[in-house]
Amino acid sequence: MPYRFTKSDITSGSIVQSRQLDNAVGTFADVINGGMDRDNIPVDAIGRLSCTDNFHHSIKIFSNINAPDDELFPDQNYVEPTPNRLGRLMYGYRYADDPTNSGGGYATATSQAAAMEEGMLEISWHCSEAKTQYWSYWKDHSSDKVALKSVQWQIRVDGNVVYTGPAQFEIMNTSIHRCTIPISKGTHTVSVHWRVPLQRDDDDQDQVVLSWWGGQLVLINKYR
Amino acid sequence: MKTLARQIVNPQLGMDLGIPAAPQTAQLLENFGYDAQTKAWTADLGYEPFFSNTLFNGPFSSPNNLNAPVDSLYVFQRHTSKQQHILFECKGRLCVLEPWTTDNHRVLATNRTEPTPNGVRTSYEAFGKYVVITNGIDNPIKYRGDGRLFPLGWAEMPGDPTVSSVRDPVAAGDLTALEAADDYVGSGNNIWTGRDNTFEGITSDDSDETTKHIYRISFVNENGSESPLSNDSNAFIYSGTSVTRNGNSGVPKIVSVVQIPKGPEGTVARRIYRTKKDGDRSLFYFVEQINNNSSEQYTDYRADSSLGAQAPDRTYSIPFPSKGVRFSNAFKNCLFVDGGEMDPTRLYYSAPLEPDRFPAFNYFEVGTREGGDIVGLETYYNSLLVFRESAIDLIRGDAVNGFEIVPFVVGIGAFSHNTIISIPNLGVAFLSRDGCYLINGGLDGGSNLTMTKLSKNMDEFFERLSVDAMPAAVSAYSAARQELWFHLPVSGRPGLSVGLVFHTNNGQWSQRSIDWPIRCFAVDKDQNILFGADTWTSGTAPNDLITRGIYVVSGKQAAGTMYPPSGDIPKEQDPLTFKFRSQWIDMGLPYLKKFPKYLYIYGISTGDHVVQITHYKNRNWETGYEGGEYHGQIADEADQAVYDDDRFKWNAVKWQDKRLIQVRIPITTSSVSEYAFEAEGQGGFHFIGYSVEYQADGTMTIRGKRSD
């Protein structure tokens, strides 16, 4: 808490050394450079208006994000050996393949880097998603399980979890997730992850558990 | 042939009021600082209001009820000085400066006692995150910053807890008011037998066994200090009885409901203690700590086997023993306080790190020995110095192994705690009746504790002290200025009027003129000396001089402010007048008449400031001989450029170097036995020493006056 007072008063008729002037000015410059705090700023010095005038938004939108084709496989229960009587062909993630790998862990949907200013970062992710429409718990004439599964979404910033959504069980829906966090200046990586529940012993390996598409990641950096 | 001789005084030393005195000393050095770099006395001293841009020096206005002298001042630093709380008292109000607010201050307490002009000032003593504030009359308090003011110590013991009584159940199972506890536990058979691991019940599950419990309570505040224990509660007596309900029988154990008092401000928890079921009042045990100061009821369900440690005994904490404490000091993690006016030879100390808990036997009585009342405390090295009116004692040891008090010196004492002050590298300085003394060294590690008189040759000054007003004297040490300031009452005046300064750089004394309106001192984190004004003026015409509030000693070439203002900015007063009077010098030839010709003043060039020189002879300050006015410029060269002068327009940089100068001044006194001169002006005097050129032609001092 700096209170600075006259170190050297240069009055009329004085011989002035440059160092003397430096010292006289320096004691106050020192406060401005390193010691500004509530004592130096009068009450109401920063009002609503000054905040509004200097408020900035920086928006980055990453659209049309889709699950990579090489991670998606057909639901074999619909196409083989007998085509599904509803005639649907479902492509999506299966327990047997990467990156699901029996479920339970988070796989990356997208990862985007952006330069940011110190302030707040609002992260918004939405996509369409589908879980296969099995109405029974057991696959016909077998002990394999084919029940409806769920998906959970997570958002991370620089690898740190900042948001985890609830498990969603709708068969087909638009999934929307949003969070706002304080952010420092610099380039930060925002990644979106998904997770399906852990596979049980006798879960059917031919079942598509999840499919998602049409994702959009919106990053809004608010700063002064 | 007449030859010129020269008496040289370089460097010029400080004041010496002895007769005779060494020629290097001075008769008077008024309003000078000392510059160690050039080994010179500098007249660049002034003071400015703390709030330079407000009409009333911040909050010191009539609407704020602060239109009075500032009675005390203290800078409390916290968080490695990131926070400075500038506390002051004015018109019975204890306030803290808050320059960032509209009012510039916050009132912490009102209706406090205003000290008499000759009374001891309020004592402020930092203890951890608190500053302890005492003045001998008002309740002692401690301040923690941001408006948090708490009482010091526990003023009284807590009120007694009250236990709700309970009637014995009838055999049919028509239980007591405490059946609520049964439902709560839900033990299944609707009879609470107390076998629940948590809710055990306090009574016996033996039929017909009568139990008796008594409770006590204590308060705990935020620094962990525990209050004295309360008196006993009423006894909770219950006889175990078998009851039958729903076909089940058993002896229920029941709980007690205790009404607990709330603690004073600052209480953060309450501790409950109780006896075991035998009701033995000599043994209480810890039951529970309630971490709030709001609940009024506690339900005790602990079995005797689940009680905690034994309760502290009554000597562990007592009501604050010194309601009229005048001053305090932190030493070895304990807070030492004096006994106040009514108990002035008693010294109490707190438990370590608990400034509010005073065990019953933590005190010293110094009145058994000669030396008078305790007047101040100061921690130094490995001891606590206990200053008395005419003795100094030492407290040594620590709280773990016990403190002990030993006498240090008898015959010398202090006036008040405000004039006892630590100086880095030197020791503890204090004012006594006959001067300023310094205690240094220690009693450990082969060192010796010694006391020396700092104010040798200043006895005449101390003879002028208004002794009865001396308790009001104040002091401050600034490491930035390397100066120890005293402000003292002299010449029978009741108020403080003259300042005396010890310059630690050269070990010399100078004094301040009566122009300094000082009532109390403080030093901030940058080692600026702050002072509270000893008066309050309205600052309107025709009262030209504005004096009010808190001021700062600085390089400002002004003695405060005056009317009229320019907008909200008061006009600056003229600079302080400095005055130097050399020592009387006889050139080592007391038996001859001397003819001084020239005075050469050695100094540093300062510019066009006027220095008035007056010569005197034969110890007569009454008749001066005009010496002329001089500038701090080199005589036989073109003037150095100065600021704000038409000759040196600022269309080019005219930086200058300060240069050593010798100013020659003719002396007009004719023959002298002893010679002295006076230099007076307002700022711009940088003075290293002088020499006097004289002739002695052998003229002897004439024969003495005869009485026959």
The whole-angstrom separation of Cα B142 and Cα B155 is 13
More confident site: B220 or B448: B220
CB atoms B642 and A13 under 8 Å: yes
Tell me if chain A has a CB within 8 Å of the CB of B607.
yes
CB atoms A9 and B556 under 8 Å: yes
Amino acid (one-letter) located at B103: D
All domains in chain A, ordered by first residue? 1-45 (no CATH), 56-223 (2.60.120.660)
Range of the domain at B274: 162-306
> What integer is the mean pLDDT of B353-372?
92
When the pLDDT of each residue in chain A is averaged and rounded to a whole number, the result is 83
Which of B262, B287, B306 is where one domain is finished? B306
More confident site: B398 or B445: B398
pLDDT at B183: 42
Number of residues written out for chain A: 224
Q: Among B150-154, B233-237, B697-701, which stretch is predicted with the lowest mean pLDDT? A: B697-701
> What integer is the mean pLDDT of A93-104?
86
Cα dihedral B272, B276, B282, B284 in deg (nearest 10):
-20
Q: What is the pLDDT of residues B22-51, one digit of tens each?
A: 999 999 999 999 999 999 999 989 999 999
The whole-angstrom separation of Cα B519 and Cα B488 is 9
> Mutate which of B642, B657, B660, B685 to test chain A, going by most A C-beta atoms within 10 A?
B642
What residues of B are in contact with residue A39 (Cβ under 8 Å)? 99-100
Q: Is residue B238 part of a domain?
A: yes
The whole-angstrom separation of Cα A37 and Cα A48 is 19
Residue of B nearest to A4 (CA): B526
CB atoms A3 and B658 under 8 Å: no
Say whether pLDDT at B581 is over 90.
Answer: yes
The whole-angstrom separation of Cα B480 and Cα B485 is 13
Chain A: nearest CA to B51, how far in angstroms? 10
Say whether pLDDT at B191 is over 60.
Answer: no
Largest CA distance in chain A: 110
Say whether pLDDT at A62 is over 50.
Answer: yes
Which of B306, B336, B359 is where one domain is finished? B306
What residues of A are in contact with residue B552 (Cβ under 8 Å)? 3, 5
Residue of A nearest to B97 (CA): A39
Residue of B nearest to A23 (CA): B555
The whole-angstrom separation of Cα B126 and Cα B87 is 12
CATH number, domain containing residue B639: 2.60.120
Chain A: nearest CA to B524, how far in angstroms? 9
> Given A3, A4, A9, which is nearest B557 (Cβ)?
A9
Number of domains in chain B: 2
What residues of A are in contact with residue B643 (Cβ under 8 Å)? 10-16
CB atoms B99 and A5 under 8 Å: no
Say whether pLDDT at B595 is over 70.
Answer: yes
Q: Token match 């010569």: residue?
A: B615
pLDDT at A2: 61
> What integer is the mean pLDDT of B156-183?
66
Q: Among A48-57, A170-179, B190-199, B350-359, which stretch is predicted with the lowest mean pLDDT? A: B190-199
The whole-angstrom separation of Cα B106 and Cα B162 is 40
What residues of A are in contact with residue B607 (Cβ under 8 Å)? 13-15
Q: Among B66-70, B201-205, B363-367, B537-541, which stretch is predicted with the lowest mean pLDDT? A: B537-541
Q: Is residue B120 part of a domain?
A: no
Say whether pLDDT at B403 is over 80.
Answer: yes
> Given B44, B82, B645, which is nearest A1 (Cβ)?
B82
Token reading at B699: 């003229």
Task: Name the residue among B96, B98, B35, B110 with its Cα closest to residue B65.
Answer: B110
CB atoms B524 and A3 under 8 Å: yes
> Would the CA dihedral through A46, A51, A52, A53 be positive or negative?
positive
Q: Token match 């807890």: residue?
A: B161
pLDDT at B179: 45
Which backbone phi and psi does B648 adopt, to 5 degrees? Answer: -125, 75
When the pLDDT of each residue in chain B is averaged and rounded to a whole number, the result is 89
Q: Token match 């062909």: residue?
A: A89
In Å, what is the CA distance from B485 to each residue of B105, B431, B501, B623, B642?
Answer: 27, 11, 5, 32, 33
Which of B306, B327, B359 is where one domain is finished? B306
**ipTM score of complex:** 0.74
Whether residue B300 sits in one domain with residue B168: yes
- Give the global pTM: 0.78
- Cis previous bond, A42, omega within 30: no
pLDDT at B173: 53
Residue/partner pairs of B288-292 with CB below 8 Å, 24 or more apart? B289/B220, B290/B260, B292/B268
> Given B46, B554, B606, which is nearest A15 (Cβ)?
B606
Chain A: nearest CA to B100, how far in angstroms? 5
What residues of A are in contact with residue B525 (Cβ under 8 Å)? 1
- The pLDDT-based confidence of A46 (bands split at 50, 70, 90) is low
Token reading at A91: 């492509």
User: DSSP string spanning B263-314?
Assistant: P-TTEEEEEEEE--TB--TT--EEEEEE--S---EEEE---GGG--SBPP-T
- The pLDDT-based confidence of B538 (bands split at 50, 70, 90) is confident
Q: Is residue B562 part of a domain?
A: no
- The pLDDT-based confidence of B107 (bands split at 50, 70, 90) is very high
What residues of A are in contact with residue B46 (Cβ under 8 Å)? 6, 9
Let me know: does B308 contact B287? Beta carbons within 8 Å: yes
Token reading at B280: 């033995």
Tell me if chain A has a CB within 8 Å of the CB of B427.
no
pLDDT at B648: 78
What residues of B are in contact with residue A17 (Cβ under 8 Å)? 655-658
Residue of A nearest to B682 (CA): A11
> What integer is the mean pLDDT of B283-305?
93
Q: What is the pLDDT of residues B314-349, one digit of tens each?
A: 999 999 999 999 999 999 999 999 999 899 999 999
- Partner residues linked to B450 by β-bridges: B440
pLDDT at B177: 39
Per-residue buried b or exposed e for B659-686, using 16+ beta carbons within 10 Å of the residue's own CB: eebebebebebebbbbbbbbbbbbbbbb
The whole-angstrom separation of Cα B468 and Cα B493 is 10
The whole-angstrom separation of Cα B121 and Cα B534 is 12
Query: What DSSP character marks residue B426?
Result: T
Q: What is the pLDDT of residues B60-82, one digit of tens each?
A: 999 999 999 999 999 998 777 77
The B474-478 sheet, strands edge to edge: B474-478, B483-488, B498-503, B508-512, B26-30, B578-582, B675-681, B607-617, B620-632
Q: Among A54-68, A194-208, B692-706, which stretch is predicted with the lowest mean pLDDT? A: A194-208
Q: Is residue B701 part of a domain?
A: no
The whole-angstrom separation of Cα B533 and Cα A28 is 25
Say whether pLDDT at A53 is over 70.
Answer: no
Cα dihedral B190, B195, B197, B203 in deg (nearest 10):
100
Strands B545-546 and B46-49: unpaired
> Rounded to a whole number, what is the distance in angstroms from the first to the last CA of chain B?
39
Which of 536-575 (B) contact A at CB < 8 A? 552, 554-558, 575
Tell me if chain B has a CB within 8 Å of the CB of A45.
no
Q: Is residue B648 part of a domain?
A: yes
Task: Write a three-state SS string for B427-457.
Answer: EEEEEECCEEEEEECCCCCCCCCEEEECCCC
Let me know: does B327 contact B133? Beta carbons within 8 Å: no
Q: What is the pLDDT of residues B662-678, one digit of tens each?
A: 999 999 998 999 999 99
> Given A3, A12, A21, which is nearest B644 (Cβ)?
A12
Q: What is the pLDDT of residues A119-165, one digit of tens each?
A: 999 999 999 999 887 777 777 777 777 777 889 999 999 999 999 99
Say whether pLDDT at B624 is over 80.
Answer: yes
Class of residue B597 by CB neighbours under 10 A (exposed 0-12, middle 13-18, buried 19+): middle
Q: Is residue B384 part of a domain?
A: no
More confident site: B34 or B707: B34
Residue of B nearest to A10 (CA): B643
The whole-angstrom separation of Cα B407 and Cα B429 is 18
- The pLDDT-based confidence of B204 (bands split at 50, 70, 90) is confident
The whole-angstrom separation of Cα B49 and Cα A3 is 12
